[in-house]
Structure 1
Amino acid sequence: MKLFTTDLDRTLIFSHRTIGERGDVQCVELFEGKEQSFMSHTQIKLLHELKESAHIVPVTTRSQMQYERISFFQQQLIPSYAVMANGGIVFKDGKRDAQWDSLVQQRMKDALPIRDFTTRFQTHRAHDFFLREYETEGLFYMLAVDEAALRHDDLRAFQDDLATEGWTSYLHGRKFYALPSTLTKEAAVQYVASELPHTKHIAAGDSMMDLGMMQLADVGYTPKHGEVYAHYGDACPVNVILKEGADFAEAMLAQILATKTTV
C-alpha cells in the first residue's frame, strides 16, 4: 500500500473561485447552508480508485469542526487517519488519538503557553492591519490581515518576537498564523506514517506550511497556483504540476495511480 498525505484547501478541495472553469463539480462542504468547497467528478472517481491501493490521509490546518464540515470525508471516503489543526490533532478510526495529544503537549512545553499569547504579544496584535483573530483548538492563533494596510516591517518585528518564545509564523494570503514551532504537519504525518505500513509515501500541498510534509515524503507534489511554487519557481524542492485548481488535482491523482508501490 502507498501512503498519500494531502493538504485539503487549494490542493484537493477548492472554492468556486479557485477550482477553475469547470462544470463537472460536486459540492463537498456546506457552511450555514451555503456551498463552500468543491471537487470535480473526475477527482472523486480517481480518489475512490486510489483508496484501493493507498492509505489516504487528509492533513489540514482546519479545526476539527471545520474539517468535519467536509462531507466527502465523512460520508463517501472515510479515512482511517486524519490530521487537523496543523498537526495538533490526529484522528484514528474517527476518534481523537490520545497518545498523539500527549505527545503534542510534551513537544510544546518549551514554548510560550497559548494562554499567555494575548498578553505577551498585545502590542503586535493591536496593529490596525489585523482585523480579527481566532484561537484554534487551544493550540495556535490565526489573525485575519488587511493586505492593503499591511506593514511588513511591523509584521517582521512580530515574527521575530514570536521566535524568541518558541513560536513560528506564516503569512498565507489574508491569514497570518502564529503557532508553537513544534506544531507542524510533518510531525503528525511522521507519527501517522509509523502507524500505517506502506511501501511509498506521497504527499501534496500548496503552501509553505505543507513543505515539510512534502519533503518528508518519498514524492511531493505542489500546484502551479500554490505558494510553494511562487516562492521557489524552477528551483522548487518538490515536484511541480503546472496546472491549477481541479486540473492540478486530477493530474496529480492520475500520476499517483500510475506510481509503482516500491520506493
Structure 2
Amino acid sequence: MSEKNYLCQRILLTNDDGISAPGLEILRTIAAELAPEVWIVAPAEEKSGASQSVSLHRTIICVQSGQHEYAVTGSPADCVALACAELMRDCLPDLLLSGINRGGNLGNETVFSGTVGAAMTGLLFSIPSIALSQNTDAQGTAVWETARKTGAETVRTLFRAGWPSDACLSVNFPAIPPEKAGPLMVTTQGTGCLNGFVVNKLGDEGTGRFTCNVDLRHSGCESDLSDETTAIAAGYIAVTPLKYNRTHMAGLERLQHALR
C-alpha cells in the first residue's frame, strides 16, 4: 500500500485478557507493521472464558484511553459489536485481530474462548477475522517471543492467501523459541485437551460461593498431525478455519433415517 508495504489500511484489535494484557501490547506492535491505522477496543478487565457472550439488557461503559483506543466494561464480543456498529461504523476495519491470548485455544476448549468469540463476532460484520493464541510451556509460562517474532509474517501470509468469508481463523503459536518453531500448518479443530471442570466451594457450608475452572490435559490428546493440538505439540504454528455451523452431519443423517 505504501513504501512501508502495509497489508491494509485499518486494523481493529481486541482480546479477552483485558486492555492491559501483555499479549495485546505485542499485537499492537504487530499490527503497526501491517496497517497505518490501528484501533483497539478491548475489555477493561479480563474476560477469559466469555466465549461469544454479549451483555444483553445491561449497560456497558466505553472509556477512551488514547487515540483510537477504548476500554469497555463488556465482553470481547461486546467490544467488536461496539467498534463496528458505533465507533468505527463510518470506517470499518479491513481486518480484525483478537489476542494474543495467554495460553492456547485448541479443540473443544475453543467454544469457551473469548478470543475466538471476538473473531467469530467479526464475521457478523463481514470482516476478515483472526484469533491468535500463544501456548504456554510446562510451567505455564507464555513464550511471548514466538508470537512476537512470527506474528506479523503469519498474519501477512494468511491475509494474502485469503479464506472463505463465512469462516474466521484460529492461530496457535507453539510454546517453543521462535527459531525452533515450524512453518504454518493448516489443521482441523480436533477434540483438544479439555477434560472437564473443576469446581471448588469457598467459605463455610451454605455460603453458595464457588470457583469454576477447566481441567486440561496437555499430552496425549491427539495423534494426527492434521489436528491442531498435535501440530502445536510438534512445534508448528497451527491455523484452523472455524465457522458458525455446528450441525453434526452423521447425527443428522442418523436421526433423519430413524424418524422417517
TM-score normalised by structure 1 residue count: 0.29
TM-score normalised by structure 2 residue count: 0.29
| More helix, by proportion | 1
Question: Relative contact order (alpha carbons < 8 A, sep ≥ 6): 1 or 2 greater?
Answer: 1
